[in-house]
Amino acid sequence: MCQLLGMNCNVPTDICFSFTGFQKRGGATDVHADGWGIAFFEGKGVRLFLDPQPSAQSPVAELVRNYPIRSLNVIAHIRKATQGIVSLENTHPFQRELWGQYWVFAHNGNLPQFQPELDGSFLPVGDTDSERIFCWLLQSLRSRFDDVPPAREALFDALHELTTPLAGMGIFNYLLSNGDSLFAHCSTELSYIVRHAPFATAHLKDEDVMVDFSEVTTPNDRVAVIATQPLTDNEPWITMPPGSLWLFHDGEVVAHRLTLPSPFKSLSGS
């Protein structure tokens, strides 16, 4: 299995502190040593750093840790390969373009039984089930909304409808962003914290590093951090209930809804 890290903010924020702890789990404090990646939205563009090496030893990860890239939406992933070989094309996050927006997706889990038909509009390059699911999600969104990107809430409704049938088929924790919002689905394990004024000091679990957020923020800043397991040991992380989809925008939770599997729902037409 893998680990996920996401960030959604109301002002461009760097993720150096959180990434420092997360990076350690890629082969140092934990076993997720089969590659890693991180995507930063900056304006409408995306910077995607991928490395099939363990993040704990990766020179690219060192760069990311020390080079503050300020972003409203970040998605990172460290991989413990369960499907697909260790290779660049199987390294998350995956990126595609839909409606003239970049979309980024990372997945923790397995959905071996889900073999959707792909119409060719988005095709996987590697051989993970994760990339296949991402292609199917984008294909489904495009066929549902045609050429018109929907409003945030309509997108959440659509993702809820698409995710719900899969939530009972396997482990399907994911982070998805189009640069505007960040969608998080907790299938088995995902937590989050929203940091806002008055800011306090945080201490990493995976390395003895501390930061006083009051020194590096303004009173209006709001930052949501989402992770498979809490990254700090002195903050009140919220554990998402298994089977729940969350919409983060401007650093706060805008919507959340259960995705309990329904045996009466089929995948046809989605």
Catalytic residue numbers, as ranges: 2
Residue 125 or 210 with smaller CB distance to a second copy? 125
Site membership for a second copy, residue 124 (CB under 8 A): yes
CB of 121 to a second copy, least distance (A): 7
Comparison of 140 and 259: residue with beta carbon closer to a second copy: 140
Measured from the CB atom, the residue of 10 and 95 that comes closer to a second copy is: 95
User: Is position 63 an interface residue for a second copy (rule: CB under 8 A)?
Assistant: yes
Note whether 115 binds a second copy by CB under 8 A.
no
Sign of CA dihedral 176, 188, 241, 71: negative
Does 44 contact a second copy by CB under 8 A?
Answer: yes
Among 1, 16, 65, 89, binds a second copy (CB under 8 A): 89
Tell me the per-residue interface mask from 194 to 233 with a second copy, x by CB under 8 A, - otherwise. ----------------------------------------
For tokens 């991928």, the residue is: 50
**Residue 13 to residue 69: CA distance in whole angstroms:** 8
DSSP β-ladder status, 182-186 and 191-196: unpaired
Q: Are strands 222-227 and 238-239 parallel, antiparallel or unpaired?
A: unpaired
The region, left, alpha or beta by phi > 0 then psi within -120 to 50, assigned to residue 109 is left
**How does DSSP classify residue 126?**
S
Residue 90 interacting with a second copy (CB under 8 A): yes
Q: Where are the alpha helices (DSSP H) in 79-222?
A: 129-145, 152-167
Residues 160 to 189 in contact with a second copy, rule: CB under 8 A: none
CB of 191 to a second copy, least distance (A): 30
Q: Which of 55, 91, 217, 232 binds a second copy (CB under 8 A)?
A: 91
Give, in order, the Cα–Cα distances in Å from 231 to each of 34, 113, 127, 151.
Answer: 20, 32, 30, 32
117 is a site residue for a second copy (CB under 8 A): no
Single out the residue of 70, 112, 115, 121 in contact with a second copy (rule: CB under 8 A).
121
- Which residue pairs from 210-219 have beta carbons closer than 8 angstroms and sit at least 24 positions apart in sequence? 211/17, 218/11
